[in-house]
Homo-oligomer: A and B are copies of this chain.
């Protein structure tokens, strides 16, 4: 069952990869029209999901994320499909061209990865978003949504499959939507057919997937982001605003700051007090390293005693996802870099300083997907980066890192076009001819 499904996806992928950008973008436009036409049915199904959610005492924030009918969410979901359709074609770009010899030309060409298995929780609009990204990038996708949005998911799946089958050149099986959890665990064994798994959801979801598959997984389990306030930071103008934004703008986001490292030279200064005050006055609980907790500015201690607690070692490896932050001092930028390389989850880390040399030590030394200077970690996001949308944020060390847009869903292959050349004629293969290896200009070069 899972094997057949995965095999069907792979076959669809081999057809989809040969379609032109026009054919792929046109399919997205048709899907958008189909969803708009079926709006009533989809909203109806969504209402059923909401009712079931209300009955099962799901948190109100989760219910809010489920609801497609409010604040023009349905329409903006449909518009989002066209935003993706209008993006530049990520396929068939030539990224390297070399004349190996006269009449023997090598091209490195972007191509789809193949078959994606995408597993996400709750928000139903993700279906439209991911469908658009997958088709635009020429990848077949198997989608599994959360059980909370099952009815919405089914209603949308029906429309998408119908449109693909009747109105487009994209094979119907290019997008397959599955409903049960059991199927996922079987699919995670289909490493012959599935090329990449993209989980979007909680730490537990991502970890359990990583532990149960040989297929490469693109994503992040944790977002343990740190900000280092250097001795040369502009505290009032930058540092305070940035840490408050990074912590409070959306504490549940993976790009929210979880650890604050302060240069020890700031200890005992007004600046130090001011930094702490900016956090506690915004109701942030500060998990202070023990030596800092003993030495708190007394005025703060009295006024906000409940918001200062002692940090455990674990707090510095921890993603709070709430109005909590772990705070410690470091002796200099190098120690900050070392702390981050040891404790962070390689998501996004920032330095606040006016000293360019220290900034460069940090930018060059921290080994994370995003390394920032004088701005909030919350900018780590595909939309903010200008990618139109994102399929997730990767903390992997290979393939794609940081917010992953269309470019993270493509890879490349080599085309070699000759007119009868054989290796036996060349040096190293038994012959006497030498290679030319002349690099050709590839700017804006496409295969078709």
Residue positions of A touching B, CB distance < 8 A: 13-14, 17-18, 98, 100, 104, 106, 111, 113-114, 195-196, 210-211, 214, 216, 218, 234, 237-238, 241-242, 244-246, 249-250, 337-338, 341, 359, 361, 363-365, 367-376, 378-380, 383-386, 396-399, 401-403, 411-424, 426, 428-430, 435, 437, 439, 443, 447
Q: Let me know if B369 and A420 touch, CB within 8 A.
A: no
Nearest-neighbour CB distance to chain B for A275, whole angstroms, equals 15
Q: What are 14 A-to-B residue pairs whose CB atoms are below 8 Å?
A: A17-B364, A17-B367, A216-B398, A241-B422, A242-B422, A249-B424, A364-B447, A368-B413, A369-B414, A372-B416, A372-B417, A374-B420, A398-B398, A398-B399
Q: Let me know if A413 and B237 touch, CB within 8 A.
A: no
Q: Report how far A365 CA is from B13 CA in the complex, Å.
A: 10
Nearest-neighbour CB distance to chain B for A442, whole angstroms, equals 11
Q: Let me know if A397 and B241 touch, CB within 8 A.
A: no
Q: Report how far A91 CA is from B211 CA in the complex, Å.
A: 32
Q: Let me know if B100 and A418 touch, CB within 8 A.
A: no
Q: Let me know if B411 and A401 touch, CB within 8 A.
A: yes
Q: Report how far A369 CA is from B114 CA in the complex, Å.
A: 12
Copies of this chain in its oligomeric complex: 2
Nearest-neighbour CB distance to chain B for A301, whole angstroms, equals 28
CB-CB nearest in chain B for A213 = B214
Contact of A367 among B114, B429, B447 (CB under 8 A): B114
Q: Let me know if A375 and B411 touch, CB within 8 A.
A: no
CB-CB nearest in chain B for A383 = B428
Q: Report how far A429 CA is from B13 CA in the complex, Å.
A: 37
Q: Let me know if A418 and B113 touch, CB within 8 A.
A: no
User: In this complex, which of A361, A423, A430 has the most chain B Cβ atoms within 10 angstroms of its Cβ?
Assistant: A423
User: In this complex, which of A98, A416, A422 has the most chain B Cβ atoms within 10 angstroms of its Cβ?
Assistant: A416
Q: Let me know if B370 and A416 touch, CB within 8 A.
A: yes
Contact of A385 among B106, B242, B244 (CB under 8 A): B106
CB-CB under 8 A from A111, the residues of chain B are 367
